[in-house]
Every structure is written in structure tokens, then in C-alpha cells.
């Protein structure tokens, strides 16, 4: 079967750095997405990785290793507004998105 694993919940301190991991087992791979979802709001697109390596976008970076079936989202200089759920999704060989259950990130002052 297809599976996306990410931690259920993480806690970090304002101003710090946090890394949210995502591991996947899917039938084929055609890219990995990270989305941010604040409570009661729409998931919003953060990043897309299809090749190995690090993609940096401001305070957020996303890393991919296809050989390890592994990605992480790195958030720097954490702000209170970064408290949200972070969803990892992989596009499989049929171009279907397979979703993880999301990681709830709690930022403390």
C-alpha cells in the first residue's frame, strides 16, 4: 500500500528553527508537496520538490531525497503565525496525490 508518515505534533519556540520530517512509500514518484493549513482555513501551497536537494524560499526550505523516500520542511526564525498544520503529499505514478495526516506545529513564546 501507499503510505506517508509525518509526526502528529511538534512544539518549538518563537525565533528558533524546526524541521518537520516526511517519509513516503508510494507506487512511483512524481513530486512532493508541502502545504500549510491554519485551523479552520484552506491548505496553502508552500513548496514542490521533484529533484533531490534543498529548495529555499525565504524562511522556509524543503529537502528531498528520492533514494531514501524522505523529505523535510525547515522553518527558520519561527513566528507565532507559523503555528499551523503542515501537510506532506506525494504525487504517485498515476499522478494522484497521496497525503500524510499532517503535523500540527505549536509555537511557544
Residues found near another protein in the complex (CB under 8 A): 4, 8, 30-31, 33, 35, 40-45, 48, 50, 87, 89, 91, 95-102
Q: For residues 29 and 88, give the distance between their C-alpha atoms in angstroms, rounded to a whole number.
A: 13
State the minimum distance, in angstroms, from the CB of residue 45 to another protein.
5
> 78 or 90, CB closer to another protein?
90
The distance of closest approach from Cβ of residue 101 to another protein in the complex, given in angstroms and rounded to an integer, is: 5
Task: Name the residue nearer to another protein (CB basis): 14 or 41.
Answer: 41
In DSSP notation, 66-96 reads TTTTEEEEEE-S--GGG-EEEEEEEE-TTS-
Longest CA–CA span in the chain (Å) reads: 43
Amino acid at each position: 500500500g501507499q503510505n506517508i508518515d509525518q509526526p502528529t505534533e511538534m512544539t518549538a519556540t518563537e525565533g528558533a528553527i524546526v524541521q518537520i520530517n516526511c517519509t513516503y512509500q508510494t507506487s512511483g514518484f512524481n513530486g512532493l508537496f508541502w502545504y500549510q493549513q491554519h485551523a479552520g482555513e484552506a491548505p496553502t501551497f508552500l513548496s514542490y520538490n521533484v529533484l533531490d536537494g534543498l529548495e529555499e524560499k525565504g524562511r522556509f526550505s524543503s529537502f528531498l531525497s528520492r533514494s531514501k523516500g524522505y523529505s523535510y520542511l525547515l522553518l527558520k526564525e519561527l513566528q507565532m503565525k507559523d503555528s499551523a498544520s503542515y501537510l506532506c503529499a506525494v504525487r504517485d505514478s498515476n499522478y494522484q496525490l497521496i497525503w500524510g495526516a499532517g503535523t500540527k506545529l505549536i509555537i511557544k513564546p
